[in-house]
Amino acid sequence: MNGDSIIAKCQKCGTKNRIPRNRMGETPLCGKCKTPLSPRTMTDKPIDVTDMSFQSEIIGFPGPVLVDCWAPWCGPCRTVGPVIEQLASEYAGRVRIAKLNVDENPQTASRYSIRSIPTMLLFKNGDLVNNLVGALPKGEIESHLNSLLN
């Protein structure tokens, strides 16, 4: 993976565009159909979601999403944190990677019956498809992400 650019998939025609990181602050256009590529799908950092934004950012997102449910006091969550950051970079433009602070967002935590953290929720096109509990090794998380992409 080239660290100087990310792949952003066009929401309209599906073309994969390579975007240099130093242009991510602008709004690049799809090389094929000229549709603006949404900056929100291009981020290479995990996005923070809340009870308020969960519906639009996760359920309403057309594609694969991983939500890392965590809390500041949780030791294993701090282990997973850097892995989530790496995955956000490596899967930029392919899988939306999000973080949900369960202490601050109890409605969503209760809706998905999150009893132990870290828990990773995997969605595809708004449907919950998997629920990974515990601080899993990076390779295992990747294999789940890859299956979301197939």
Written as six digits, the tokens of 137 are 């090794």
Cα-atom radius of gyration of the chain, to the nearest Å? Answer: 15
Run of H or E including 132: strand 127-133
Cα-to-chain-centroid distance, residue 91: 8
Written as six digits, the tokens of 101 are 């602070």
* 77 catalytic per annotation: yes
Give the three-class secondary structure for 62. Answer: coil
Q: Which is nearer to Zn ion, 20 or 36 (CB)?
A: 36
Q: Which is nearer to Zn ion, 38 or 55 (CB)?
A: 38
Q: Are strands 127-133 and 16-20 parallel, antiparallel or unpaired?
A: unpaired
Task: From the candidates 10, 30, 69, 74, give the one annotated as an active-site residue.
Answer: 74
CB of 142 to Zn ion, least distance (A): 27
Task: From the candidates 10, 30, 69, 77, give the one annotated as an active-site residue.
Answer: 77
CB of 73 to Zn ion, least distance (A): 44
CB of 102 to Zn ion, least distance (A): 37
Give the three-class secondary structure for 99. Answer: strand
Which residues form the interface with Zn ion (CB under 5 A)? 10, 12-13, 15, 30, 32-33, 35
Q: Which is nearer to Zn ion, 17 or 119 (CB)?
A: 17
List residues with catalytic annotation: 74, 77
